[in-house]
Amino acid sequence: MRVEPDTFMNAQSAASAIKPKDEGFRESDGRLRQLFCFWQFNGDNTDFCNQHCPYCYGGSRAQKSLKHRWIGGIDKWTRAFERLDRDIYFNLSYGEPMGGNGFYEVIDVIGDHMNWECNIITNLSYFPERLLKSKLAKDRRVYVHASWHPLGGGVWEEFTKHLLMLQDADIPTMVMYLFYPPQIERWREYWKWLDAHNIRTCVRRFVGYYDGKLYPFVYSPEIRNFLYAIVQPKTRKYGIDLHDPHGNICTAGKDMILVHYDGSVGLCADAPQTAFRFNLFDEHFRLREGPVQCPTHLCGGDYGLLHMYDPKLPNELPPDEPLWHDCFIAQTEKITGGGKQPVIYPKRAEMEKWLRKLD
């Protein structure tokens, strides 16, 4: 495979045909159908958020600037993304995107482009009524990953009310829950409610310090074994064991980018520094033509794992076993539950066995 660490496209790539969602996110030749774009339209990860979680990588609320950084205006952003000439899967996250300046302008513009769709990672504290009425919702081109933060100021009654509104609107929704040590045992009660209401949920591992210990030593062997049991090998290796991906072949920069609020572009969330010659707003900006060698020492999310190749592991997801530990693009085509569709967990038996130990 030819690796091009510092070359750029001389011509725009041809937009691939829009495909039904049940055909997956790869073309027949293995090429990713969509450009996966982290769009930090409202600031970087230390900017606006209305909650104050003690474990946040962006610091507590007291440390956040709580400032909006909506730069450029929606027309300028629209022209810049249209120049890429790609089907785009936007990931709106960092801070609280639903509270960001320009959020519904973003939603409306994505909705106006039939080959664009988006995922919203939100604490769901904002009333989602306008989202429910959007073209994205009507076309089923929007997904919601709702992060439940009981220690960050979240209100369970409000959170569940908004969840049920999304469910009634038939918007695919998944609840993410961080296994931060003080709140691990609480997951049992949340799981029971979500499972009873046919809403999919997943857990994420906490990588940080707690009580003088650093991950993975913040967890007991029992919890580590549980996380091992519910994920597939690639996630286990890179997401839980934090194996160093440095030097692996990756299509970041070609099929995945991170766009900052000022238009500067990085390869991915684990390599956010500017990695392109031109700013997205520059008419000369082009995506990379070929794969790169991973420049970072961490690849912990499914969005990255989907684009990164490990020669010792299968590059394709098992058809009945989605990446379950994190839940970004690799999960989108495999989300079950919501509306009348039942939730299907490939590892339900392992999950229920562990939950019984908490009773």
pLDDT tens digit sequence for 184-209: 989 989 999 998 998 888 888 888 88
The C-alpha angle with vertex 118 and arms to 112 and 122, in degrees rounded to 5, equals 125
Q: What's the pTM value of the predicted model, to 2 decimals?
A: 0.85
CA 250/CA 50 separation, integer angstroms: 35
Residues in the chain: 359
pLDDT tens digit sequence for 319-337: 444 443 333 333 444 455 5
Give the DSSP H/E element, type plus range, for residue 287. none
pLDDT band for position 338 (50/70/90)? low
pLDDT tens digit sequence for 145-168: 899 999 999 999 999 999 999 999
Query: What six digits make up the tokens of 164?
Result: 């049920």
Mean pLDDT rounded to a whole number for the chain: 79
Handedness of CA 240, 243, 248, 252 (dihedral sign): positive
Domains of the chain, with CATH numbers?
Answer: 32-358 (3.20.20)
pLDDT band for position 26 (50/70/90)? low
Question: Quick one: pLDDT at residue 193?
Answer: 94
Helix (H, G, I), strand (E, B) or coil at 327: coil
Distance of CA 89 to CAs 43, 268, 332, Å? Answer: 19, 14, 10
Look at residue 303 and tell me whether its pLDDT is greater than 50.
Answer: yes
Question: Quick one: pLDDT at residue 277?
Answer: 85
One-letter amino acid for residue 121 of the chain: I
pLDDT tens digit sequence for 168-182: 998 888 898 999 999
